[in-house]
Chain A
């Protein structure tokens, strides 16, 4: 097995190649730039949904590619996303409690 094919198979096993990670980082940086631009440019009614969508895209990209969830066993995804959805549930319950009983 030569060095190149060894590196390639390794990249497949553990995620992306170095260039792949740099590409992901550049996309994340571009989205961050777009997010910051909403502070200076008036996006009107699109302001809130656009910001939330960009936040979710960045979140999913880091979790999937940098944290390797996309390439790892699905059990890890279940563990993490269960905590995440419980957290969102806590947030919704807290907001509802304060709205109706606060």
Chain B
């Protein structure tokens, strides 16, 4: 008989603590994807606003005068690689390898911090070059869009570090692997938003 008590126990362990809906899907996962769908709308609105106002520079500097493409490319690469480390953390969590999960979570948080640090440096450089928040419609929409993204990355870093602490102290409610997976989904979402921002805002000139 293929369905032994061992298999039953493994199946139960895999989904420990995960609340499932009548569809058989995890409620937590369903809620997370719904949340990410609404986040698409938020960033869709912000990107639309930027695309409308990107040419309205007034007396301030133009995008091509302030953007440092090599620097932003490195930042983008760092964030992209953080998605790899995050997915490795999720993979390790599914394999119940706590040591690797903790390690990849910390590396992901460090890469995220590097990205946010780069963004702070970039904002400071723009300000010093005469592009403040209220200089023009272009600068306002740029800072709101990239600032919102930066806040999302920062929240992601806080969640990663909090999760790492909770895992270490055995205080994760419900399924550990599902919790890591949900934070991973949020982190990857932040990455795909940057994929769009990097192309539309930085690489395609106004």
CA distance in complex: A52, B23 (Å): 37
The yes or no answer to A100 lying at the interface (CB within 8 A) is no
Cβ of B47: which chain A residues have Cβ within 8 Å of it? Answer: 91
The yes or no answer to B8 lying at the interface (CB within 8 A) is no
Which segment, of B119-127, B128-136, B143-151, B196-204, faces chain A?
Answer: B196-204
Q: Are A28 and B204 touching (Cβ within 8 A)? A: no
The yes or no answer to B80 lying at the interface (CB within 8 A) is yes
Q: Are A29 and B77 touching (Cβ within 8 A)? A: yes
Q: Which chain B residue has the least Cβ–Cβ distance from A98?
A: B52
Cβ of B196: which chain A residues have Cβ within 8 Å of it? Answer: 55, 59
Q: Are B83 and A66 touching (Cβ within 8 A)? A: yes
Annotate B17-53 by CB proximity to A: 1 below 8 A, 0 otherwise. Answer: 0000001010001100110111111011101110110
The yes or no answer to B162 lying at the interface (CB within 8 A) is no
Q: Are B94 and A75 touching (Cβ within 8 A)? A: no
Annotate A43-78 by CB proximity to B: 1 below 8 A, 0 otherwise. Answer: 000001001101100110011011110001101100
Cβ of A25: which chain B residues have Cβ within 8 Å of it? Answer: 80-81, 83-84
- Expressed in whole angstroms, the minimum distance between the Cβ of A100 and any Cβ of chain B is 13
The yes or no answer to B195 lying at the interface (CB within 8 A) is yes
Cβ of B44: which chain A residues have Cβ within 8 Å of it? Answer: 84, 86-88, 90-91
Number of CB contacts from chain A to chain B under 8 A: 130
Secondary structure call for the B interface? helix
| Given A67-B188, A88-B44, A90-B48: A32 touches B39 (CB 8 Å cut-off) | no
Total B residues in contact with A, Cβ cutoff 8 Å:
50
Q: Are A63 and B37 touching (Cβ within 8 A)? A: no
- Expressed in whole angstroms, the minimum distance between the Cβ of B111 and any Cβ of chain A is 12
Q: Are A83 and B83 touching (Cβ within 8 A)? A: no
Q: Are A94 and B39 touching (Cβ within 8 A)? A: no
The yes or no answer to B91 lying at the interface (CB within 8 A) is yes
The yes or no answer to B185 lying at the interface (CB within 8 A) is yes
Cβ of A91: which chain B residues have Cβ within 8 Å of it? Answer: 44, 47-48, 51
| Given A32-B77, A84-B40: A66 touches B195 (CB 8 Å cut-off) | no
Q: Are A35 and B188 touching (Cβ within 8 A)? A: no
- Expressed in whole angstroms, the minimum distance between the Cβ of B7 and any Cβ of chain A is 10
Cβ of B206: which chain A residues have Cβ within 8 Å of it? Answer: none
Pairs A–B under 8 Å by Cβ, sample size 21: A11-B91, A15-B91, A21-B88, A29-B80, A32-B73, A32-B76, A32-B77, A35-B198, A36-B73, A39-B69, A48-B204, A55-B196, A66-B84, A68-B181, A75-B25, A76-B30, A80-B36, A94-B45, A94-B48, A94-B52, A98-B52
